[in-house]
A and B are shown apart, each in its own frame.
Chain A
Amino acid sequence: MRNAFIVFVLTAVTIAAQAPKPYTAPRMPDGHPDLQGTYDLATLTPIERPAGMNAVLTKEEAAKLERAAAVAREEGDKSIKGDRSAPPKGGDGSRGPAGNVGGYNTGWLDPGSTYTVVDGQKRSSIVIDPPNGRVPTMKPAALRRTLSLIARPTSDAQESNDPGLEPAGSYDDPERRPLGERCLLGFGSTSGPPALPDYFYNNLHQIVQTRDSIMILTEMVHDARIVRMNAQHLPKTIRRWMGDSIGRWDGDTLVVDTTNFTDKTRFRGSTENLHVIERFTRVDARTLLYRFTIEDPDTWEKPWTGEYAWPATNERIFEYACHEANYALPGILSGARLREKEGGK
């Protein structure tokens, strides 16, 4: 009996010694966790899970993919041979920056170098629900609506399209260009909400936290989203580019509820009735966990959810003065007018 008791006590002590202490975030004076910092959202983890991948990458899979990304970057950063000739007029026909005459050298890009880690797992996608890691298909009516509005790009539209793939009329007016090209919001839903990696550059975000207002700054395009704590939503007549965000604390998690989007944001083809719920939790001294749920009954049958880590960075956010130096948009429109004049499409 005594031996069993000793074994019991030793086992209990051992378990207690091995059980990880749950992390407690440092507090603000009002008692809530301090979520502040500057974060770099760049990650190799895509929004949707590629076919054939598990939700969680093994250490070996992740290492292989991260190494491949590093090698591609090293290759891209190599000096260009001085004897290389110019590409043929109009590009060599292949897709992407190699084939077109435009595009960024890798030195300009900062797409991330590692897969996002949540709960110690290297994730293959940001979307976690549905469990297949893919955004649910749109409702048929939503698909029809999106196709009819296809010349009005969405807030998550990426920066470049290969020529010849855009729908007719894409260059008729500035209002038909992506919001990023117009410098109205950063591309790739970088500010959102939901705030997503843009897989290109300038993925820094900064949080400044007071009792009544929590400000989330998105580097591109210097968009400050002010979350009003414990407040009511704006009236339905007031719509905002990033919606209207109100916040409350759920234990140590900041829950942000956003509605009142404009009908021009159209995240992933959704409507102005988009409803985004975000959850911010500090999981260690240098990391926030960011989780979001997307609801729009006019677009998707059920809500869907994603999550990824926001690691702190020592970098500083500099000014992204997009509109002030927007040579691209007039250049793109002028180019289209010239092409029409020369008899092209």
Chain B
Amino acid sequence: MKLLSVMLVSAALAAGQTAAYRAPRADGGKPDLNGIWQAINEANYDLQAHTARPAMALRAGPYGPVPAAAVVALGAVGAVPPSLGVVEGGEIPYKPDALAKKKANQENWLTLDPEIKCYLPGVPRATYLPYPFQILQNASRIFFAYEYAGAVRDILLKDPGPAPVDSWMGQSVGHWEGETLVVDVTGMNDQTWFDRAGNFHSDAVHVVERYTRTSADVITYEAVIEDPKVFTRPWKIRMPLYRRQDTQILDFKCPEFVEELLYGPLRKKPLAR
């Protein structure tokens, strides 16, 4: 086996290609995904390519959109950074009425984005939120622990059949295809968004993720999203995930941080709003 690998690599080099990175093996003989990973991009702001914007919540100004009153105090901190986008082909293929709903979502971002209320983010948004997550992997189990809201995913390696009930993070069933961990996610409810731009899905959404180690500190991540109630065809996002060497998963238990937002008016002595 080793001789064959050497011969193949030599052949590839002879053909003028660089040898594909081969990750170390985890217990169980599969590529080792153990570690703490994080996306470094603007996908959570808006999956599609976009120039910088004044804010996520906008209103009409005399010469173009300006931040909504509720966020104007954040200034540049509340602005949306630019991005070349992570959607293959550029456009998310909405059906016409769904596109109208996406625009309405975006216009009403402040009241509708579940991230604001610290709700569980669903898949794939959990992957590219600006917080690290940890993958634990051995011969028999794969588990994802996200810092954001302490979200978790048990990646089942044996398919139990359809999810008996919908959930925010869905049911994840994983298998290996060569060097790639393929995770099939079903059973998600319709409550999560893809980003802060109002991109959304129904409860029919089906996500297939692919995780491939492409260098010592990079996982190349792809996700194909299919939702016949919302999109005209499946579409794909792709991005690198980088290894965090400098941290561990800490607490971002954000339900505490949104109590003033959600329950402030119900205090015996409400604060000024």
Give residues in B with beta carbon < 8 Å to A. 27, 34, 118-120, 134, 136-141, 143, 145, 149-152, 154, 160, 164-165, 167-169, 191, 248-251, 253, 255-256, 259, 262-263, 266-269
Contact = CB atoms under 8 A, between A and B. Distances in A.
Please name the 8 residue pairs, one residue from A and one from B, whose CB atoms are nearest each other, closest first. Answer: A333-B266, A319-B167, A172-B268, A323-B255, A224-B145, A208-B143, A29-B27, A174-B259
Nearest to B166: A319
A217 interface: yes
Contacts of B167: 318-319, 321
Given A333-B263, A334-B266, 6 more contacts: A210-B137, A213-B34, A217-B143, A222-B152, A226-B136, A323-B149
A284 interface: no
A162 interface: no
A184 B118 CA distance: 12
13 contacts: A174-B267, A182-B256, A183-B255, A184-B253, A184-B256, A215-B143, A217-B143, A217-B152, A240-B250, A321-B120, A323-B118, A334-B266, A336-B268
Give chain A's interface residue range (CB within 8 Å of chain B): 35 or more
A183 B253 CA distance: 10
Interface in A228-254: 228, 238, 240-241
A228 B259 contact: no
A36 B259 contact: no
Contacts of A333: 263, 266-267
A32 to B, nearest CB: 12
A321 B189 CA distance: 12
A209 B191 CA distance: 32
A213 B266 contact: no
A12 interface: no
Nearest to A323: B255
A224 B154 CA distance: 11
A212 interface: yes
Nearest to A228: B248
A237 to B, nearest CB: 12
Contact of A208 (B119, B136, B262): B136
A206 interface: yes
